[in-house]
Chain A
Amino acid sequence: MTSPAVTAAAPAAIAPAPATTSSTKRFVLGIFDDEDVLLHAVDNLRGAGVKIYDVFSPYPVHGIDDALGIERSRLPIAAFFYGMCGLAFALWLQIYTLGFDWPMIIGGKPAISLPAFIPVAFELTVFFTCHGMVITFYTISRLYPRFKTPVLDVRSTDDKFVVAIELDENSSQMPKLTQLLRENGASEVNQKEMTKF
């Protein structure tokens, strides 16, 4: 039961939220109907010094990573090493089984003949890279299966774009943020409390 909501950017790269004493967090949510309005709003909010927790969108929005100032994900580096693991495993598997454990002559070729190993080596490299990347991404994005998935606003899985800004203890910035979001084209502004988010 993973959440169908796909965040626009890998949340792993987002700056950590300010430390809170309780496990309850309060957010102000700006709901947007249009991605261009959203991108302008994100630019202006950040220009006004507002720290955005995250943006939730039904689909990846081009340019949102730059607008949010998210640093590049390090996932490709992990992917490279998963691929190397897959390649090493594939070569070990074939060389050990066909070369040492149970050598067989196939088509008159030597027991260890690299051209014949390339297809399997290629497939296992891809297999390890894909699975490693998917598992890593889901883990760091907290999209792994669980009983109750916290969602700030379910409409972000349908047709709305949600800008989430975390509030401090007594929500003192609330009026100012509401006004800012309204000025920048938010169709509604809500407040939401989340536990275990």
Chain B
Amino acid sequence: MATLTHHHEPAAVEQLAHSPKAQRTFMTIIGAGILVLLIGIVAALMHWGEHHEAAGEAAGHLNAAHDASATEEGHSVLIRRIVVSLWHSNLFLVGVSGIGTVFMAIQYVAYAGWSVVVKRINEALGAWLIPGGILMVLLFVVGRHDIFHWTEDGVMTKGSATYDKIIAGKSGFLTFSFYLIRMIIYLGIWIYFTWRLRQLSLQEDLNGGTRYFHTSINAAALFLVLYAVTSSMAAWDWVMSVDVHWFSTMFGWYVFASWWVSGIAATTLIAIFLKQAGYLRFMNANHFHDLGKLMFGFSIFWTYVWFAQFMLIWYANLPEEAVYYNQRLGGFNGSYTWIFYFNLVINFAFPFLVLMTRDAKRQMIIMKIVCIAILVGHWSDFYLMIMPGTLKGNNGFLIEIGIAMILLGAFLILLTRRLAEASLIPVNHPFVEESVHHTT
């Protein structure tokens, strides 16, 4: 029945009401996260399930040497795990947050009409950028020795005991102040354009007309050019410099692909939750179908980038490159081997096979499952990028999941608050009727 001719109802304002139930759910997520975190800390203090160290028991001196190096670089393993987990989960959420603006900017420059019904969700995703950015800067300033080996004293000074020639070769780029300035520039650009597009959109709601639309297109085009550069450099800085000896020219794309597909999954998942709560009256199976196509396509895109990176390294087998996969496939007593394969299954095989048919993309329950799988999968992808280079064999899951849940709860509270600030449908957007009448 979804023909062009059947809709006659014009788009109308929809206001998200304050929901104590939703707030309780978010607080429960945070509470559960704190609980899991505490259990994780207790488990770490009691040395439960420390399978990595079991091997070292026979050779106690190895263990001692390991501990010494850990304290030399930064804090104890427990503190390091908490700092690295905060960095990891926050990095993922900041990326997803930024994708909200990127997605919207692409829709603007493409003059796309279909996506207007999800535009407010994209705007709301950006709510995490400022707190997430502040947290990121703080984590770098306070806990950089726990995350980045290259920040260690003496590692770049000739003659020091910890001198490392390869790291010293990167001293022009990897310095504390330059890194901090870069980080603030990337985040500043993302935050500014998120704010700018949001303001234009809100003014459009009040005043109408096509002026705001055209200004938004200019802002969006500029943002996309800047984002292309900053997201790629952010991937080197925030993720790749964790494995400071290693490098990959695919890395900017790889991190972007991971953020991008997660951002689309997050948008879709929020739309589904809103739809099931009785909102987004104008959103129908056709919109979900298109979002599903994007998730399907970009899951394959992520795999393409993943494979392009993997195959070249596997084929050339150069020691300085291959070490990255040695660590993840069987290294550290196989700590990461299962998650390496899990990553491929949940981020490629699962969405590829499940979202292949048309009907699957038009059913909310299947879309919901795939969205959650993609978000969990790409969180694990970031886990796999960051943990082997920082925690080495001391990784775990309870602390990491607990922190992820706490940040997720905070993310959702800020997101809902921003969603409730304006109508869920941008009623004065020039393409709103096209979106309401969208057919696939």
Contacts and interface: CB of A to CB of B under 8 A. Distances in A.
B268 to A, nearest CB: 22
A118 B315 CA distance: 12
Given A39-B4, A43-B3, A66-B3, A118 B317 contact: no
A94 to B, nearest CB: 14
A39 B5 contact: yes
B311 interface: yes
A108 B318 CA distance: 12
Interface string A38-64: 011001000000000000000000110
Chain A interface size band reads: 10 to 19
A115 interface: yes
Contacts of A39: 3-5
Contact of A66 (B1, B314, B316, B356): B1
Contacts of B1: 66
A118 B311 CA distance: 9
Nearest to B304: A122
Interface in B1-56: 1-5
B246 interface: no
Interface residues of B, number: 16
B439 interface: yes
Contacts of A76: 357-358
A1 interface: no
Nearest to B2: A66
B310 A63 contact: no
Contacts of A118: 307, 311
Interface in B323-358: 356-358
A184 to B, nearest CB: 12
A36 B357 CA distance: 29
Contacts of B2: 63, 66
Given A76-B357, A107-B317, A115 B310 contact: yes
A116 interface: yes
B3 A67 contact: yes
Given A62-B439, A63-B439, A72-B358, A115 B4 contact: no
Contacts of A107: 315-317
A119 B259 CA distance: 25
Interface in A101-120: 107-109, 115-116, 118-119
Interface string B199-242: 00000000000000000000000000000000000000000000
Contacts of B317: 107-108
Interface string B69-103: 00000000000000000000000000000000000
B4 A63 contact: yes
B103 to A, nearest CB: 23
Given A107-B317, A115-B311, A116-B315, A67 B5 contact: yes
Contacts of B315: 107, 109, 115-116
A40 B5 contact: yes
Query: Which of B5, B358, B439 has the most chain A CB within a 10 Å cutoff?
Result: B5
A118 B306 CA distance: 13
A36 B3 contact: no
B4 A62 contact: yes
Given A62-B439, A76-B357, A76-B358, A115 B314 contact: yes
B5 A43 contact: yes
Interface in A137-151: none
Contacts of A115: 310-311, 314-315
Given A40-B5, A107-B316, 12 more contacts: A36-B5, A43-B3, A43-B5, A62-B439, A63-B3, A63-B5, A66-B3, A76-B358, A107-B315, A115-B314, A115-B315, A118-B311
15 contacts: A36-B4, A39-B5, A40-B5, A62-B439, A63-B3, A63-B4, A63-B439, A66-B2, A67-B3, A76-B358, A107-B316, A115-B310, A115-B311, A115-B314, A118-B311
Interface of B: 1-5, 307, 310-311, 314-317, 356-358, 439
Rank and list the top 9 A-B pairs by shortest CB-CB distance, nearest first: A63-B3, A63-B4, A63-B439, A39-B5, A66-B3, A67-B3, A62-B439, A40-B5, A39-B4
